[in-house]
Amino acid sequence: MKSFDAIVIGAGQAGPFLAARMVEKGMKVALIERKFLGGTCVNAGCMPTKTLVASARAAHVARNSAVYGVNIGGEIAIDMKVVRARAETVTLNARNGLIGWFAGMDGMTVISGHARFEDPKTVSVNGETLTAPRIFLNVGARPVIPDLPGINDIDYLTSTSIIHLDRLPRHLAVIGGSYIGLEFAQMYRRFGAEVSVIEHGPKLASREDEDISDAIADVLRSEGIDIHTGASDIAFARSRDGITVATDSARIDASHVLIATGRKPNTDDLGLDAAGVITDKHGYITVDDRLATNVDGIWALGDCNGHGAFTHTSYNDFEIAAANLLDGDDRKVSSRILAYALYIDPPLGRVGMTEKQARASGRKIMISTRPMSRVGRANERGETKGFMKVIADAETKKILGAAILGIEGDEVIHGIIDAMNAGTTYSALQWSVPIHPTVSELIPTLLGDLKPV
């Protein structure tokens, strides 16, 4: 049996950085990863997909260049092999950077293999047994495959496998109208494929307010994406030309099908029962406000704990654990203000409560909206789709939440994120003097238009 000061299972966006901090403190750490260093973000999520989004946007800008007085002769051609290679290069550069970083650390042992608990202090991997007083789980999540008629009879894609396509689908059917599905839908439409989005629920991006959801749908429809919401009785069958996707109200002749119906934690094969670690009904590991499980000496970080399925929340889990365990701090998950983005174009930046959540909270609230068509920078760039929206507490003057669906919305939202984290009142932010011409300069104007509801 090999002994360590700590064992980290999973090399996503929390575990490796926590392992590095512990090594800096002179600890002996084992980092176990069954596939690739970097987790979902580096290998199948943020980095490759946003690289693909950038290629798709380049194609879109080229097709519409005449509007800006730039004439490109002939049709825009897409070389999917080059597109794929570019995304893979970005992934490999990041992954290899982690490999080189860890190789230079005395005290770090990186093990490639599948770890399982033998007891609360012991795990087995590759036929060896390892023990440590502290064990951290950062095992991530994977795509959910729903049990739909005919699904096992077709060759479907997931968010992990679609990034490796090196040819353009004739017609991509996306099952699921949430964040992952919508990004791929617009991306492949811009590459030149016909695209249909099939969503069981009544609207796209169901987490958002109805006005945001409707605006997202308008953006996608304007680019020729076929959207089917409220779809039931979804079934698949092989056809002579590809795959038939049938619903209660539509029949789609697709060449490829992307299943984008959510993700589930990779916790079902860790031997958690042997350690006594409790999960909820969805398989997420139950943790307290400091990310500790019910078993002393075991923590769960990142997607597998159900407290945020984002790279930035996973990294913040590392920050919380490191601060509490290594720096004598007392940081809590409940102090985190959730923010995220939807990377369609234009992107959606979101922070805090939706309008629906704010109304349900019983607070006296104020709301302000502004169309992007009234933003100078958006007009100058010729990208006026979407709108800004902010919700505030009428009594405390604190900002409760915001949504910016529009040009650079994923960046502009950070001004509001920072204000909310600093506890600044909206009236104080209203007197800032932003740079012109920018999208962010409209935040004080947006706040100045807040009205009670």
User: Does CATH place domain 151-261 in 3.50.50.60?
Assistant: yes
Task: Show the DSSP H helices in 281-391 as ranges.
Answer: 311-326, 355-360, 376-381
Q: How far apart are CA 92 and CA 72, in angstroms?
A: 33
Give the closest residue to 143 by CA, choosing from 178, 187, 170.
Answer: 178
CA angle 211, 217, 195 (to 5 degrees): 170
Residue 113 backbone class (left: φ over 0; alpha: ψ -120 to 50; beta: rest): left
- Name the CATH superfamily housing domain 2-142+264-335: FAD/NAD(P)-binding domain (3.50.50.60)
Respond yes or no: is residue 200 known to be catalytic. Answer: no
**In the block, which residue shows the tokens 């299972």?**
9
Work out the mean pLDDT of the chain and round it to a whole number.
97
Region 97-102: what's the mean pLDDT? 94
Give the closest residue to 170 by CA, choosing from 236, 255, 253.
Answer: 255
* Amino acid 74: pLDDT: 87
* Amino acid 304: pLDDT: 97
Kindly list the distances between the CA atom of residue 122 and the CA atoms of 1, 6, 166, 371, in Å, as whole numbers in the listed order. Answer: 9, 11, 43, 57
**In the block, which residue shows the tokens 């959510």?**
262
* Amino acid 405: pLDDT: 98
Q: What tokens appear for 129 in the block?
A: 């047994």
Are the C-beta atoms of residues 8 and 24 closer than 8 Å to each other?
no
Region 318-328: what's the mean pLDDT? 98
pLDDT band, very low/low/confident/very high, at 309 (cuts 50, 70, 90): confident
pLDDT band, very low/low/confident/very high, at 260 (cuts 50, 70, 90): very high
Residue 195 phi, psi dihedral angles, 5° rounding:
-135, 135
For the stretch 405-445, pLDDT in tens is 999 999 999 999 999 999 999 999 998 999 999 999 999 99
Question: Is the per-residue pLDDT at 308 higher than 90?
Answer: no
Give the closest residue to 185 by CA, choosing from 222, 146, 232, 235.
Answer: 222
* Amino acid 155: pLDDT: 96
Q: What tokens appear for 297 in the block?
A: 């000496």
- Count Cα neighbours of 380 within 13 Å in the Cβ-side half-sphere: 7
Q: How far apart are CA 251 and CA 120, in angstroms?
A: 52
Task: Give the three-state DSSP class for 98.
Answer: helix
* Amino acid 212: pLDDT: 98
The domain 339-452 is placed in CATH, from the list 3.30.390.30, 3.40.50.2300, 3.40.50.880, 3.40.50.150, at 3.30.390.30
For the stretch 113-135, pLDDT in tens is 999 999 999 999 999 999 999 99
Residues 6+ apart with CB under 8 A from 314: 12, 13, 14, 39, 41, 138, 301, 302, 303, 308
Region 164-188: what's the mean pLDDT? 97
**What percent of the chain lies above the pLDDT cut of 70?**
100
Residues 6+ apart with CB under 8 A from 70: none
For the stretch 73-94, pLDDT in tens is 888 999 999 999 999 999 999 9
Are the C-beta atoms of residues 216 and 223 closer than 8 Å to each other?
no
For the stretch 340-393, pLDDT in tens is 999 999 999 999 999 999 999 999 999 999 999 999 999 999 999 999 999 999
Q: Say if 151-261 and 339-452 have the same CATH topology.
A: no
> Do the strands 134-137 and 141-143 form a parallel or antiparallel pair, or are they unpaired?
unpaired
For the chain, domain boundaries: 2-142+264-335, 151-261, 339-452
The edge-to-edge listing of strands for the beta sheet with 251-254 is 235-238, 243-246, 251-254
Task: Give the three-state DSSP class for 3.
Answer: strand
